[in-house]
Amino acid sequence: MQTIISYNEREVRHDGSHDDVNHGYNVWVDLVDPSPSEMQDIERSFHLDAKAVETIKNKSKKPQVRILDKHKFTIALDMKFKDAATLKTEPIYMFLGRGWLITIHAKTIDLQSKVLALEEKNHPILASSIDALYYNILSAFVESYEQLLTAIELSITEYEQRSLYRPTRKMLEHLDSLARQIIILRRHFWHMRDIINFLMHLEEDKQDVKYLKIVYDDINQLIELTESYRETVNSTRELYIANVSLQMNDTVKTLTIFSAILLPLTFITGLFGMNGLDLNNISKLPAGFALIVMAMGMISATLFVFFKKKEWIMAKEAEIMHHRFEESEQKKNPDNEDASKEMAEKTRDKIVDSEAG
């Protein structure tokens, strides 16, 4: 489908033609999913670059701008965020010549509505040169990127709340997908900023370049927001892992309590259930039974001393920090052992004072 809008300072015609360029009109040709015959007609009428037309046929989605002999060729992206795993991108191709602009895109992009919305906010667009329309179309896409980031921010907020109350493995997969989408968004924003920066320096003498300066500031803010969202996703992932660890600790704690309750009962059952022990005549214990009890006591005492030496049980935090600090200082300064011990003693005293306070 093809729509031709011809306009100047006096009037706007929505039923224009290609020849209006020769009569002092600015001509905007909007092509929606053009057929091969429509592409050939527009290529012949405006003498479009053959390589650029071939790029359109290949459906390239890489944002770029090319300066050709008699016109400029630009590729921008319209992006829509459906969920954490889906980022839909549709290219829009623009040819800008002297007094005319051609836009080619899919029917999912309502470009004319975007321009009309801009016209309501900024009336002089259609009264200005064709460059102003071109710049404001780029501005419309940057404005849609802001709405895209708003949707991402709402998704991140939802995942933060769910990570506090109902953390699941599926949510972690969504966070990973969201992090990848943010990286892709940042790359697209970089490309768009490069396009705008290139046009600003190329056409800095034109009056309508003021629109580009506003867009350049907006795209820089979007890049900064993207960086902050990436950090937020990472912190949400850490929060998820922390909450899962807390849930696991509670589960292990519950199991440990039941184990501690059943352990004495199991010990008594195993001890008095040994063969050779007569419970009816318990006053006369066999000599082997006494040896087994002694061996069990020695093993328990040895393990207790070993665990205490390793500071796994009955060890205060101050003592642990003291020994670790002393070992690290000795490794750093093997020749100054007294100074290392003195520094370790001071560190332990500070920890003890803080715990007492």
> Could you read off the pLDDT of 232-253 as tens digits, one per residue?
777 777 777 777 787 788 888 8
Asked if pLDDT for residue 133 goes beyond 70, the answer is yes
Asked if pLDDT for residue 280 goes beyond 60, the answer is yes
pLDDT of residue 293: 80
Q: What is the DSSP letter of 124?
A: G
Chain centroid offset of residue 222 CA: 13
* Domain boundaries 2-245, CATH class: alpha beta
The overall average pLDDT reported for the chain is: 76
The partner residues of 65 in beta bridges, in order of sequence, read 74
Q: Where in the chain is the domain with CATH 3.30.460.20?
A: 2-245
Asked if pLDDT for residue 278 goes beyond 70, the answer is no
Q: Contact, 92 vs 108, CB < 8 A?
A: no
Instruction: Look at 89-93, 217-221, 270-274, 317-321 and tell me which has the smallest mean pLDDT.
Output: 317-321
Q: In what order do the strands lie in the sheet with 72-83?
A: 12-13, 2-7, 26-32, 100-105, 86-97, 72-83, 64-67
pLDDT of residue 122: 54
In this prediction, what percent of the chain has a pLDDT beyond 90? 0
Q: What's the whole-number mean pLDDT along residues 43-66?
A: 85
pLDDT of residue 355: 46
pLDDT of residue 325: 55
pLDDT of residue 218: 83
Q: What does each C-alpha distance from 260 to 103, 247, 257 come to in angstroms? A: 75, 20, 5
